[in-house]
Chains A and B, each alone.
Chain A
Amino acid sequence: MSNLAPIVIQGGTVIDAATDREGLFDILVQDGRVAAIEKPGVLQSHATAEKIDAKGQWVIPGCIDLHVHLREPGEEWKETIQTGAEAAVLGGFTSICCMPNTKPANDSAEVTRFILEKAKAAGAARVLPIGAISMGRKGQQLAPYSELAKAGCVAFSDDGDPVADAGLMRRALEWCLMLGLPLSCHEEDRSLSCGGCMNESPLSLRLGLNGFPGIAEDVMIARDIELARFTKGRVHICHVSTARGIELIRRAKNDGINITCEVAPHHLVLDETSVSSYDTNYKMMPPLKPCEDIEGLFKGIEDGTVDAIASDHAPHDLDSKLVEFSRATVGILGLQTSLPLFVELCSQGKVSRRRMVELLCYGPARSFGLSSGTLRVGSEADITVLDPKRRWRFAVEQVRSKSKNSPFLGRELMGLATHVLVAGRRVVRDGKLAAEQTEQQDIRG
């Protein structure tokens, strides 16, 4: 890292929830770390430093997404670690945690190491693997947590498939106590969700689609709260989508239970009426909800019950979406739209700017016990410079992911990550991948 030239990020508004900083500051980055954070003008002496003009922009810790699907190994036509890591930095994310529902599942050190090697070669965002809770994610036998942790896993999850066996969940929580790592839980009681493909409501009855009732999520959240209370283990609840779920977590936190949770942007900005035309781009898991639930999610964001925003980035090829609604795959791209959707919520006054940064940076870091997500002198220089006023169209050419399944395609978005640093290295420059810009310069040169 020492061969990197120092960088000064000038004139931007630095926002960092962890250090409670919000105001005009310049940041000096040296040797991959934050070397200084000073009032404007103080860092003038560094004439040799590369300058990033951040005037009118926000300078925030590199964002962290606790919940993405990179599809590699096994479904490389949907996404690869390379394209996912690139989409991440273009969307302002310097760290992404990838779920283990690959083929094979990430239930061994070999798969974890494979992911980390691919991620290193990609040279974009940091990729932090999440190991499986059970072997093959089948819910029958515990995965080798210690081996996975040593290989680099930061949490465990059977995401996509809930852990139905409460006894297995209990032992998993107990084992992970000694590792200090959380279990990230996809909450769904399959005997209640019964293959439902949209929220159960008058609308599902009208459309004749099988409903997935909110209670299917709530009863599993309640179960895992009690297991966390009993074992003192670390539980992180994935993509909470119900008002009742938020209320359960709020009470658990008040009881002092070691629990955190995340909410997905699409559950905040879209509601269940989007599926009225049977458009499979709006088919998610958990399904989109009615306004009452969305209000509950916002309340949780406001009062601190929600710790993190996580995109549940789920690339799917067109073929698996261009079918009957009930047979379509579930999920939506998220890495390049999370940040803009939140900037829009900020501009609408639905979330404060400070809280948004907390939910995208320090909150997720704290949830998984990561040291990143903050800007202090000495911390690794993962930094996102964000132009909150930039309007841009999310066109197909803009989508870095291999898949294009997003209902936001073609929509004008607000807010763009203009410059992104990972460990002091510039990976995004003027909203474009730095690696590609250098290549082009090479060709021209």
Chain B
Amino acid sequence: MVDHLLGIEGLSKNEINRYLDAAHSFVEVSERDIKKVPTLRGKTIVNIFFEPSTRTLASFDIAGKRLSADTINVSAGSSSVKKGETLLDTVRTLESMNPDILVIRHSESGAAHFVARHLHRASVVNAGDGAHEHPTQALLDLLTLRQHFAKSKRSIEGLRVGFIGDVRHSRVARSNIWAHLALGNEVRLVGPPTLVPSEMSAVFGGGSVHVVHNILEGLRDLDVVVCLRMQLERQDQHFIPSLDEYSKEYCVSEKLLERYAPASVVLHPGPINRGTEISGEVADGPRSLIRQQVNNGVAVRMAVLYLLARSAQSHEEIIK
């Protein structure tokens, strides 16, 4: 019996806060001169990435190393997947090396669940599965918000949070929405009907999730604006006429924010398309928390690895 982190859906406010509290203490570790604690000495972590990634892979790798675990990174490009091996075979091969934690990124929704179902000993961390979930990104976004609002002695409950752009294809949005719902926040999904269909509200049980197609209405009085990455391939799939047309309608600019959400802060999971979904002025401006998001990636992943390893250990102790 091992624990996994496959998604934010289904986590309670307390569980989310447990991750954030642990991350908070690991932030300090990363600021030390010697950025290493012996917590996971002797543990093995495999990061297997079937999709290209720079920041997520790097931060998982560093997180494991700072906890003194042995980490190995396998990327699909160099692995046997290219030779036609199935996901199951690849993962079973890796499991035979007895990792304690397997971190997986995959282009297909449900891949992390599939792996968790067929692994017996390792904890699985979903580092992004298709358009489904990306739980550690949501946690680091929340940590970033917590740090920001703490400055003005505000909590991150009772916020009005808007997601602007390609919600349909965004695992970052899904994980974040579940998290904000758990915290009791109001969520607004803003974008064209092709990318933010009106049924999106029903996905999350209606209630405090609202779909808005007009960006002016969508931005109004938001505390937090989350810009989502727009991909060029959506044009070929007929979701948008062109990036140009999209940005004319939905690019988040300082002018819009000043007018409709003057008190807001801005997040972006990266990588950024400047001028498409977010203007350079906003991304680099005073309301942008994008740099802090990147900074928090390591601490949040340390917290996740630490808590999963600890829960596996306590299970073992129970068995003993």
Q: Give the interface of A toward B (CB within 8 A).
A: 194, 201-203, 205-209, 277-278, 319, 322-327
Q: List 10 A-B contacts (CB under 8 A).
A: A202-B199, A202-B202, A205-B197, A206-B9, A207-B109, A208-B110, A208-B131, A208-B171, A319-B86, A324-B110
- Which of B108, B129, B197, B203 makes the CB contact (< 8 A) with A206? B203
Residues from chain B with Cβ under 8 Å of A325 in the complex: 108-110, 114
Do A208 and B174 touch (CB < 8 A)? yes
Contact A209/B88 with A201-B199, A202-B199 known, Cβ cut-off 8 Å: no
> Which residues 131-162 of B sit at the A interface, judged by CB distance below 8 A?
131-133
Q: Give Cα A322 to B92, complex, Å.
A: 13
Do A208 and B203 touch (CB < 8 A)? no
Residues from chain A with Cβ under 8 Å of B197 in the complex: 205
A272 to chain B: closest CB distance in Å?
Answer: 13
- B87 on the A face (CB < 8 A): yes
B164 to chain A: closest CB distance in Å?
Answer: 17
> Which residues 194-218 of B sit at the A interface, judged by CB distance below 8 A?
197, 199-200, 202-204
Residues from chain A with Cβ under 8 Å of B88 in the complex: 322-323
A348 to chain B: closest CB distance in Å?
Answer: 29
B10 to chain A: closest CB distance in Å?
Answer: 12
Q: Give Cα A324 to B202, complex, Å.
A: 26
Q: Give Cα A202 to B211, complex, Å.
A: 13
Q: Give Cα A208 to B204, complex, Å.
A: 13
Contact A202/B114 with A324-B106, A326-B108 known, Cβ cut-off 8 Å: no
Q: Give Cα A322 to B108, complex, Å.
A: 14
- B121 on the A face (CB < 8 A): no
Residues from chain B with Cβ under 8 Å of A327 in the complex: 108
Q: Give Cα A207 to B109, complex, Å.
A: 7
Do B174 and A206 touch (CB < 8 A)? yes
Residues from chain A with Cβ under 8 Å of B87 in the complex: 323-324
- Main SS of the interface on chain A? helix
Do A208 and B109 touch (CB < 8 A)? yes
Looking across the interface, which residue of chain A has its beta carbon closest to that of B205? A202
B236 to chain A: closest CB distance in Å?
Answer: 12
Interface residues on B, range: 20 to 34
Residues from chain A with Cβ under 8 Å of B132 in the complex: 207-209
A213 to chain B: closest CB distance in Å?
Answer: 11
Q: Give Cα A202 to B118, complex, Å.
A: 27
Residues from chain A with Cβ under 8 Å of B9 in the complex: 206
- B227 on the A face (CB < 8 A): no
Do A209 and B168 touch (CB < 8 A)? no
- Which of A202, A205, A278, A323 makes the CB contact (< 8 A) with B113? A278
Residues from chain B with Cβ under 8 Å of A324 in the complex: 87, 106, 108, 110-111, 114
Do A205 and B203 touch (CB < 8 A)? yes
Residue from A202, A278, A324, A325 with most neighbouring chain B CB atoms (10 Å):
A324
Q: Give Cα A156 to B66, complex, Å.
A: 65
B271 to chain A: closest CB distance in Å?
Answer: 20
- B130 on the A face (CB < 8 A): yes
B154 to chain A: closest CB distance in Å?
Answer: 30
Do A278 and B199 touch (CB < 8 A)? no
Contact A208/B114 with A324-B87, A326-B109 known, Cβ cut-off 8 Å: no
Residues from chain A with Cβ under 8 Å of B129 in the complex: 208
Residues from chain B with Cβ under 8 Å of A194 in the complex: 237
Contact A278/B114 with A208-B174, A209-B109, A324-B87 known, Cβ cut-off 8 Å: yes
Looking across the interface, which residue of chain B has its beta carbon closest to that of A319? B86
A345 to chain B: closest CB distance in Å?
Answer: 29
> Which residues 30-44 of B sit at the A interface, judged by CB distance below 8 A?
none
The 9 closest A-B pairs by CB, nearest first: A208-B132, A278-B110, A208-B131, A208-B109, A324-B108, A202-B202, A202-B203, A206-B203, A325-B110
Residues from chain A with Cβ under 8 Å of B202 in the complex: 202
Contact A208/B86 with A202-B202, A324-B108, A325-B110 known, Cβ cut-off 8 Å: no
Do B199 and A205 touch (CB < 8 A)? yes
Residue from A201, A203, A205, A322 with most neighbouring chain B CB atoms (10 Å):
A205
Do B86 and A209 touch (CB < 8 A)? no
Residues from chain A with Cβ under 8 Å of B110 in the complex: 207-209, 278, 324-326
Looking across the interface, which residue of chain A has its beta carbon closest to that of B129? A208
Looking across the interface, which residue of chain B has its beta carbon closest to that of A194? B237
Looking across the interface, which residue of chain A has its beta carbon closest to that of B171? A208
Q: Give Cα A44 to B229, complex, Å.
A: 81
Q: A202-B199, A322-B86 are in contact. List 11 more A-B contacts (CB 8 A).
A: A203-B203, A205-B200, A205-B203, A206-B174, A207-B132, A209-B110, A323-B86, A323-B87, A324-B108, A324-B111, A325-B108
Q: Give Cα A371 to B285, complex, Å.
A: 79
> Which residues 9-39 of B sit at the A interface, judged by CB distance below 8 A?
9
A233 to chain B: closest CB distance in Å?
Answer: 33
Residues from chain A with Cβ under 8 Å of B106 in the complex: 324
Residues from chain B with Cβ under 8 Å of A326 in the complex: 108-110, 130
Q: Give Cα A208 to B133, complex, Å.
A: 8
B127 to chain A: closest CB distance in Å?
Answer: 14
A207 to chain B: closest CB distance in Å?
Answer: 6
Residues from chain A with Cβ under 8 Å of B199 in the complex: 201-202, 205
Q: Give Cα A277 to B87, complex, Å.
A: 17
Do B168 and A205 touch (CB < 8 A)? yes
Residues from chain A with Cβ under 8 Å of B114 in the complex: 278, 323-325
Residues from chain A with Cβ under 8 Å of B109 in the complex: 207-209, 278, 325-326
